Chain A
C-alpha cells in the first residue's frame, strides 16, 4: 500500500506498508520533510506497526502524536499528515 499527502505550503509525506490479517505491517515513512532529531522517525514508524486497517484518521493522528518523543521538531509535516497518508494508502 502507498499513500501520499502534501501539507499545504509544507512537505510531502509518503507512507508505504503491507496489510496482513487486517493490520499494518512493514510501514515506511518517507518524504522531503525535516525532523530533529532524526532518530524520532523510528518511534513514528513503530507506532504504525499493527494498527488495524479500520483505525480512523483521528485515531492514527493520536497514536503518532503520542509516539513522537518530547523535544522533537517536525518541520513541514505533522502526525495528522502521516495519518492522512496512511488512510489514503488504505483507501
Chain B
C-alpha cells in the first residue's frame, strides 16, 4: 500500500491541555441511542453545559451506521440486513457506511469547543483530533498512519474512518475503528459498488480492511485501556459519565428523530 500521510501543525498538540476533559467509558447501547447521544453531548458542550468530552461507544446489537448524506438503498442490502438482524441508523455527520457487530469495534466521539481546531484546515483538524489514537496504535506495534481525508490506515489495511460535524456551537468528531470483523456478512449487508473502489486499485472491499485483530494478539480491552491512558496523559482529563438528564434527552431524541423512518430514510 502506498503511504500517503496526513499531517497537522504539531504545535496544536498543546491545545488539548487548554480544557478540562471528561472521559466516558463504553457501555453497550441501542444503535440509535449512540447516535442520539452524539447530538445531545455536542449540544451540551456547545452550550457550555458540559466539559469537553471523549466518549467511547458500545453497541448492543449488529449495526450499519450510514453517513448523513448517504442513501439507504444505495448503501445497504436492506433485505439481507433485516434477515441478519442488522439495524440501520443514520448519523448526523457525513462520510461513509460502517458495519459492526457488538464487541468488534472501537468507536469514540470527541465533543470540543471550536477553538480546539481553530486555524486548522478541515483535513488538518481530522488528523489532529485522531493523532493520539494513531500514536497509541503505533505504541502497540500496529504500523498505523492517518490517510487523507479521514481514514486511519495501516500496512495491514484500513483500520477505521472519522467524521465531523460542526454544529450546535461545538465540534463533533467521531471515529469508528475495526478491532475484528465478519467480512462475509459485511459483503452481504453493505452495497459497495465498483465506482467506490475505483481509485483503490483493489478488487474487493473486504480486502481493503485490516482490523486490529489481524495485526496483533492484544485483546480489545487492551486497546481501550491504552487509548484511555494516552488521552488522560495528553489532556489531563478524568473519567466521567453521562448524566440522567443527558440520558433522558437522548431517549427523547431516539423517539422523536433517530429511530424514525423519516430520519433513517431521509435519503431513501
B 237-268 contacts with A by CB, 8 A: 267-268
Interface residues of A (CB under 8 A from B): 4-6, 8-12, 14, 16, 28-38, 41, 73, 75-76
Knowing A14-B74, A28-B267, A76-B149, the reply to whether A6 touches B199 (Cβ < 8 A) is: yes
A30 interface neighbour in B69, B164, B195, B198, Cβ under 8 Å: B69
Q: Does B71 contact A (CB under 8 A)?
A: yes
Interface residues of B (CB under 8 A from A): 67-71, 74, 93-97, 122-123, 148-150, 163-167, 193, 195-196, 198-199, 267-268
Q: A interface, by DSSP: helix, strand, loop or mixed?
A: strand
Knowing A12-B195, A73-B122, A75-B122, the reply to whether A35 touches B71 (Cβ < 8 A) is: no
**Chain A residues closer than 8 Å to B122, beta-carbon distance:** 34, 73, 75
B199 touches A32 (CB 8 A): no
**Chain B residues closer than 8 Å to A73, beta-carbon distance:** 122
28 A-B pairs in the complex with CB atoms less than 8 angstroms apart: A4-B196, A5-B195, A6-B196, A8-B199, A9-B148, A10-B149, A11-B96, A11-B149, A16-B71, A28-B267, A28-B268, A29-B69, A30-B69, A30-B71, A30-B267, A31-B69, A31-B70, A32-B69, A32-B94, A32-B196, A34-B94, A34-B95, A38-B68, A38-B69, A38-B94, A73-B122, A75-B122, A75-B149
